[in-house]
Homo-oligomer: A and B are copies of this chain.
């Protein structure tokens, strides 16, 4: 079977992953409306292609927070990569470095920050964190990440509680016994989402700021009001995200929310977006609407499920080729 577009990887993953893993990665909250809307919203956006421009050279390199990457597609934070491939996040980090782009490692990784960092030294890596009830644990994670050379901190803002993903409830989803949320092993006896602190507010950004010199990127913003608050509280970047449609169902598609966030931010910080990217032309649409870079979640997992590091590189390379072609054809 030829792997021609991202849907081919999706079909492969659906066929070869254990059902419980596929369901976990695919899950959306409630009726999965927002998960699906993320994709549909891209299709509603139409190009106005221009002709007869010199497109013999198409430069797709860009910078995020000053770091140059080979094209404006990074890897969004998702958990439990060992469910997709034995080497887990180590493969992800290697693929990102090989493709010269940014990888946001999740707190809920099945490899430690140390392992991820060692797997791809010199790669551009950010660390995604939640704020835990146990603030000391969060503080330690931040310091570990900074010490290991991670170059950005991504604070997830949309998960005071976990969304209701019906299939996970039906499956009684939990990690297989041989996998661990290794980053949290020292800090907590049991890994439970309820360790997250639902009382976190904007003021906690100041606390986070006091812990580290790394740039702080906030992930999960969907409205102009919250975008304004994010800027006021001094973040360096915003990822417009609805957690892949896994949190509150029936909110906006991220590409639609991007428009109002970009408008509110007025260039004061960089804005990124994740959710629903399935083609190179989706990347172009996001950039045309003001994103500096996009991040892919599920497609990266499908790539891992296909052939680990190599499969993820395939996914990224396809997106890169499609993005370059879209730019040329759109003029």
Contacts and interface: CB of A to CB of B under 8 A. Distances in A.
Contacts of A146: none
A145 to B, nearest CB: 21
A277 to B, nearest CB: 13
A52 interface: yes
A149 to B, nearest CB: 28
Nearest to A219: B51
Interface string A175-204: 000000000000000000000011111101
A250 B51 contact: no
Given A54-B199, A55-B198, A47 B251 contact: yes
Q: How many copies does the complex hold?
A: 4
B199 A161 contact: no
Q: Which of A4, A33, A164, A220 has the most CB of B within 10 A?
A: A164
A10 to B, nearest CB: 13
A248 B199 contact: no
Contacts of A329: 158, 160-161, 163, 247-248
Interface in A252-281: 252, 279, 281
A202 B331 CA distance: 12
Interface stretch (A63-71, A108-116, A222-230): A222-230
A54 B170 CA distance: 30
B199 A249 contact: no
A19 to B, nearest CB: 15
Contacts of A201: 52-54
A222 B30 contact: no
Contact of A170 (B2, B46, B53, B325): B2
Contact of A157 (B33, B51, B251): B51
A158 B201 CA distance: 47
A322 interface: yes
SS class, residues of chain A in contact with chain B: loop
A223 B50 CA distance: 7
A198 B56 contact: yes
Given A204-B52, A328-B160, A5 B251 contact: no
A52 B200 contact: yes
A118 interface: no
Nearest to A242: B49
Given A50-B225, A55-B198, A45 B163 contact: no
Contact of A251 (B46, B170, B198, B225): B46
A54 B201 CA distance: 6
A46 B250 contact: yes
A278 to B, nearest CB: 9
A330 interface: yes
Closest 8 CB pairs of A and B: A56-B199, A248-B329, A51-B157, A56-B198, A54-B199, A47-B251, A4-B169, A49-B251
24 contacts: A4-B166, A5-B164, A30-B281, A31-B279, A43-B250, A45-B250, A46-B250, A47-B252, A48-B222, A48-B251, A49-B158, A49-B248, A50-B225, A51-B158, A52-B200, A52-B205, A54-B201, A55-B160, A56-B160, A56-B197, A247-B329, A248-B281, A248-B329, A249-B279
